[in-house]
Structure 1
Amino acid sequence: MAEGSPTSLLHLSITRWIADNFHLCEGCTIPRWLLYEMYLENFSSSDNDKVNSATFGKLIRLVFPGLGTRRLGTRGSARYHYDGIAIKKDSSFYGHYCFLLSQKNYRSADACSSGDAAGYESNSKKKGTDLHCFPSVTYLKTEEDRLAYVLPEFGLACPWEQELLNKYPYEMVIQVANEYSSHCQDILEVVKMQELDKVEDCITSFWKSLQPEKIAFISLPDICQLFKYYDRYLFKELDNILLGDFLEEVSVHYLKSIRMFSKNVKLWLLNALEELPMPLQTSKCKEVTVFIKRLRRKTDLSNMAKTMRIVLNNNSKVTVLISDLNAVIDQGLLDVPGNLFQKKYGNPDELQYNIEIKCLNDLLSSLAHSTDIRVLLSCISSNLQAFVIQPSRNKQEFIKLAADFQLRWNFLLSTVSKAMTLNYADSFGSWHLFNLLLLDYVAHIFQSYIEEEEEGEESFCVTQQSDQPVLWVYEPSYFGGYFAEEEPQAEAPQSTLISLMLNQSDIRLSNVYSEF
């Protein structure tokens, strides 16, 4: 970086601001998000004159070398704090800082900060000071979740952290755990601010800054498993931030940006890890791949839901769709006896072989009373929960039930499409959109359940490592609804899990997976 360049001058001004307003103070802590928020307010003249949270953290440590971080607060609401610094009482930001602390009601070991906050609030009331005079308070109220977002307490949640501390040098384990969880939080903060292009800088700067001895340590199988534990929390939170609810109304531009991010994030990670040991690359690549596929499923569903919502908002199209569906059923155009749709199943065993009929019948009944896409999809998910997921006593049984249901469900929907085509139904276009959404939605539910089961089955025991590869498969609806499973062990019983391909109104077997 050339001396006198815009970037170096910006960094110099930031370090001066930090030194002018903060000082070393043993036993004191400052919420990390709050310090960054105060910086953003001070340097708010231009977006180009700002640095991301990761760079800001490095500049703080440039001013205060060796500065540590601590997680303070109750479980589930803990926040990261800089440990060992405090704001100067003669700082122009002191009053605003104390006010924000009192608003957030932090309960930490920071006697200086919490005490000053309480004292300042009391004095302000006595003097009649208007605490709402600060221009950023409204901004904090509306953007609080975005700016204050932190990762869960990984250290407390990790069930075998103590085993690592007993097995490896205590300071080394704590250091890499804190550094990596801090790195994960930096990524979350950048994504929360919707600066997706800056994630690459966060990833690259962390992995490229590691020293050889630390690289060797984090490449150990036990530490790779610890990082995998953190990664799963990280990617779940990223998933929730980016597209927690795929039925929520979002712009097409936003969906495109998420889709582009899903394509880039794995490339960024692989580029940063290219010179690191292969076990570390493999572990990281596996977790990011699961995240990418889940995010792509949700963006696909969001796009289809957006299109289908246009149909459902048109009363005449909904009326024609219901009429055509009832016609193909009542006229016996399906390869299914029509009375099955009106039949009430009293025998659970009998219902087990006709779940797909019940799902479609309940869907038609719901469509006659509501055009809310959430209600319609909830009708499907509740049936899957009741008749496929809950009856499964283990993963093997779930795979059998899910594969059987998906085969019969896809065949039924394909049969409806064929009947509507032969009947020259006016609503075939509307049904085709609905059909694609239903296929992908069922596949997404099954895939998500398998992912949760995968996580639940892995105990992350440091004494027992499992290197079984996992094959994750998902394609958009025009290639079918797939859900994936692990590769089998050598002596595992073999059966087939059939995936389906939908080609307009034709259905055919496309792939065979072996069971666990």
Structure 2
Amino acid sequence: LQSSGPTALHILFSIDTCRLSPVCVQVQWLMDNYETAEGVSLPRCTLYCHYLLHCQQTKLEPVNAASFGKLIRSVFMGLRTRRLGTRGNSKYHYYGLRIKSNSPLHRLVEDQQHLAMRQQPYSQKQRIKPVQKMEGLTNGMGLGLGHQQGAGLSDISAQVHQYQQFLDASRSLPEFPELKDEGIPLPDGLHPQHVHTYQLIYREHCEAILDVMVNLQFPLVETLWKSFWRFSEGQSSETDTLDLHDESEKRLPKSVLVLLCKYEPILNWARECDNLLYQSLVEILIPDVLRPIPSALTQAIRNFAKILENWLTNAMINIPEEMVRIKIVCAGAFAQTLRRYTSLNHLAQAARAVLQNTAQITQMLSDLNRVDFTNVQEQASWVCGCEDGVVQRLEQDFKLTLQQQNSLEQWAVWLDGVVSQVLKPYTGSPAFPKAAKLFLLKWSFYSSVVIRDLTLRSAASFGSFHLIRLLYDEYMYYLIEHRVAQAKGETPISVMGEVDIQTHTSSGNLIDCVGEEDDETDEDQDMAVPVVVGEESLEPPTKLARTELYNNNNNNTPN
């Protein structure tokens, strides 16, 4: 490996041209913070994340990972890359590169032991820490929203560690599926190598997203999206001696990228990859929906979920509509899942206090014993058609569990057992998803009848029951969502993001009979209910065209 001294810099620039060049600023930053050495390695995604943070601090517009890689190789001549790590957890590393001993980047890592082990395979459990000030959590946007303003890095590291302990930072990005061309020929202008290159750079892109999310650097996700899709705000870099965006064009020209975004196998592959990515991100940010999460972190996640679809939509300007629709649907399912899981977590913490209050539990039992469950069953059976024995058993189990003053986690086990018991006859059957959804409707309707009875009796514990009902309904939804995904061999994100193209123009069914093999019979069509009321579609925004989504968001800017 050659030295990273002045020789490497002069290969790229002269002193005069370099003085005011943004590219030269980046080169100088690389030389100030990294050096070549034998027998060590640095994860490629880690270095890129360092770079993104540097750009955010210095208000420079970053380039994508591929272009940044070109710059690194120009500065550190002869640098090699290797894939290191255990199978399923491996990552690309720059072999022969390390952080300088006097670099402030050393203070971004979790501890000195992690730094001393740079030459060993990268561990997903030891990720870099963000540089930015914690005002991101204060204003609810996310860690690292503002610039560092004299805050000590040691304090920042401590605060970040405080929040990262609630994450599952050990989770890595799963392997992406093979692309299936399904016999569809490549369009004119595309070659197999283009497809292969797209797969490589998209994998790198997703790994970069995962890394910035683990570091709670939510605003950098928008930066990565803009970089990958070649978003330009009209800023020109023609005065730079080295045009980094041109390097990206050399690897995969924008014209080729546009053609690939119209190729159906690529569209299908992108959908599968995004579902895997977003599912991983959900499990990183909210590994346990019942475990207490700091309110500041919850708010940061919710605000990120609120804005991420706008970010992606804006970043994909001039990208073919087919790809945009797929990307927005997947991102919409991701955002919806984050909102639901954070709401579920909030309900769980509120209900935890109720379940730990002996006086409230005693009052709830007293009020529940006054409910006429025979009358409740008569009212609900006409709609639900539940067997009396099953309902009575659930009633007795519920009262017993309440009487035992079980913890929230024990209640979760009970609810999971109810789902397993009810859906056991449908295990392995094509009717499983429909049976699961129908059970969810029955559960919700039956519990609403019980709540109505408590309301009419002016039960003193109505508020507690209402809170518990909200939590159990939401957690039951969570359980059903995961059971259906497991039965279909998909991720919960993909199940929630399923799109029926005909829903905009055709009618849909309220409920089909459980166990019917044919979902669309003539009788079903006769019972169809329109999905449009007046002029407004009931489809969620994630299923609308990009133009509709963009217009709606502009007209309804979130507070």
Displacement after TM superposition at 1:411 (Å): 3.0
Listed one character per residue, the Cα deviations across residues 363-415 of structure 1 (whole Å, up to 9, x for unaligned) are: 32222223311211221122112322662443435414541x33432332122
More helix by share: 1
The Cα of 1:256 is off from its aligned counterpart by 2.1
Q: After the TM superposition, which residues 136-215 of structure 1 pair with which residues of structure 2 at under 5 Å, given as runs?
A: 150-154=172-176, 158-160=177-179, 169-208=191-230, 211-215=254-258
Q: Distance in 2 between matches of 1:105 and 1:189?
A: 13
For the Cα contact (< 8 Å) 2:356–2:405, is it kept in 1?
A: no
CA shift for structure 1 position 285: 1.8
**2:77 is the counterpart of 1:64:** no
In the alignment, residue 196 of structure 1 is paired with which amino acid? F
Q: Is the 8 A contact 2:45 2:207 kept in 1?
A: no
Aligned position for 1:267: 310
| Contact 2:282/2:338 (8 A) holds in 1 | yes
Structure 1 residues 288, 242: CA separation in 2 closer, same or farther (over 3 Å shift)? same
| Aligned match of 2:464 | 430
* 1:319 equivalent in structure 2: 362
CA contact (8 A) 1:333 1:419 kept: no
Report the counterpart of residue 445 of structure 1 in structure 2: 479
Residue in 2 that maps onto 1:505: none
Residues 149 and 292 of structure 1: is their aligned pair in 2 closer, same or farther, counting only changes over 3 Å? same
Change (3 A) 1:243 1:467: closer
SS in 2 for 1:274: coil
Q: How far off its partner does 1:213 sit?
A: 1.5
User: Secondary structure at 1:306's aligned position in 2?
Assistant: helix
Return the letter of the residue paired with 1:327: R
Q: Percent identity?
A: 23
Cα displacement (A) at 1:265 = 0.9
Note the residue ranges of structure 2 that are not aligned, 5 or more in a row. Answer: 1-16, 107-111, 124-153, 232-252, 505-517, 530-537, 539-559
What are the residue-to-residue correspondences of 1:125-136 with 2, within 5 Å? none
Which residue identity does 2:501 align to in structure 1?
Answer: P
Deviation at 1:318, TM superposition (A): 1.3
Q: Which residue of structure 2 aligns with residue 376 of structure 1?
A: 411
Higher relative contact order (CA 8 A, sep 6+): 2
Mark the CA change 1:226 to 1:431 in structure 2 (over 3 Å): closer, same or farther.
Answer: same
Matched residue type, 2:93: H
Deviates more, 1:202-211 or 1:277-286: 202-211
Is the 1:69–1:81 contact (alpha carbons within 8 Å) kept by the matching residues of 2? Answer: yes
Question: SS state of the match for residue 280, structure 1?
Answer: helix
Q: Determine which of 102, 117, 137 is the counterpart of 1:100.
A: 117
SS, match of residue 76 in structure 1: coil
Q: Which amino acid aligns with 2:293?
A: V
> How many Å apart are 1:359 and its aligned residue?
3.4
1:336 to 371, 374, 377: 377
Correspondence 1:284-323 to 2 at 5 A: 284-323=327-366
Question: In 1, are the aligned partners of 2:347 and 2:471 still within 8 Å (CA)?
Answer: yes
With over 3 angstroms needed to count, the CA separation of the structure-2 counterparts of 1:17 and 1:321, relative to structure 1, is: same
Moved more, 54-63 or 3-12: 3-12
Secondary structure of 2:229's counterpart equals helix
RMSD (Å) for aligned C-alpha atoms: 4.9
Distance in structure 1 (CA, Å) of the matches to 2:115 and 2:468: 54
Query: Within 5 A, what are the aligned runs for 1:11-50?
Result: 11-17=26-32, 21-22=35-36, 30-33=42-45, 35=47, 48=57
Once residues 181 and 32 of structure 2 are traced to their aligned partners in structure 1, the CA distance between those partners, rounded to angstroms, is 40
Residues 62 and 37 (structure 1 numbering): CA distance in 2 closer, same or farther, change over 3 Å?
closer
Unpaired segments ≥5 residues, structure 1: 107-134, 341-349, 461-465, 473-487, 500-510, 512-516
Structure 2: how far apart are the matches of 1:74 and 1:161? Answer: 27
Give 1:426's aligned amino acid: A
* 1:86 matches 2:77: no
Amino acid at match of 2:419: L
Deviations 1:218-272 (A, max 9, x none): 4311111121121011100111122222211112232222221112111111111
Per-residue CA shift, 1:125-151, capped at 9, x if unaligned? xxxxxxxxxx9xx99999798877642
Q: Which amino acid aligns with 1:469?
A: I
Instruction: Output the CA distance in 1 between the equivalents of 2:454 and 2:99.
Output: 76
- Contact persistence 2:179–2:269 (CA under 8 A): no
Map of 1:504 onto structure 2: none
Pick from 445, 464, 469 the counterpart of residue 501 of structure 2.
Answer: 469
Residues 274 and 87 (structure 1), Cα distance of their counterparts in 2 relative to 1, 3 Å cut: closer
Distance in 2 between residues matched to 1:89 and 1:307, nearest whole Å: 46
Deviations 1:405-437 (A, max 9, x none): 334323321222222223332111111111122
Q: Is the 8 A contact 1:308 1:433 kept in 2?
A: yes
User: What's 2:402 paired with?
Assistant: 367
Q: How does 1:367-516 map to 2 (within 5 A)?
A: 367-388=402-423, 391-400=426-435, 402-403=437-438, 405-452=439-486, 456=490, 468-469=500-501, 494=524
Change (3 A) 1:170 1:247: same
Change in Cα spacing, 1:324 to 1:163, as seen in structure 2 (3 Å) is: same
CA distance in 2, matches of 1:303, 1:97: 34
Q: Structure 1 counterpart of 2:228, which letter?
A: F
2:296 and 2:114 map into 1 onto residues whose CA distance is: 37
Deviates more, 1:430-439 or 1:54-63: 54-63
Aligned counterpart in structure 2 of residue 77 of structure 1, from 71, 89, 106: 89
Q: Alpha-carbon deviation of 1:173?
A: 2.5
**How far apart in 2 are the matches of 1:386 and 1:247?**
22
Alignment partner of 1:335: what SS? helix
1:77-111 residue CA offsets vs partner (Å, 9 max, x unmatched): 212323xx5238998789989831466588xxxxx
Letter in 2 for 1:179: I
CA distance in 2, matches of 1:320, 1:102: 61
Q: Which residue of 1 aligns with 2:269?
A: 226
Deviation at 1:17, TM superposition (A): 2.6
Aligned residue for 2:96, secondary structure, equals strand
- 1:246-257 aligned within 5 A: 246-257=289-300
Q: Distance in 2 between matches of 1:402 and 1:97?
A: 47
Q: Deviation at 1:306?
A: 1.9
How far apart, in 1, do the equivalents of 2:440 and 2:408 lie? Answer: 21
User: Could you tell me which residue of structure 2 aligns to residue 476 of structure 1?
Assistant: none
Task: State the AA in 1 paired with 2:117.
Answer: L
Question: What is the distance in 2 between the residues matched to 1:409 and 1:376?
Answer: 16
| Change beyond 3 A, Cα 1:318–1:453 | same
Deviation at 1:492, TM superposition (A): 7.8
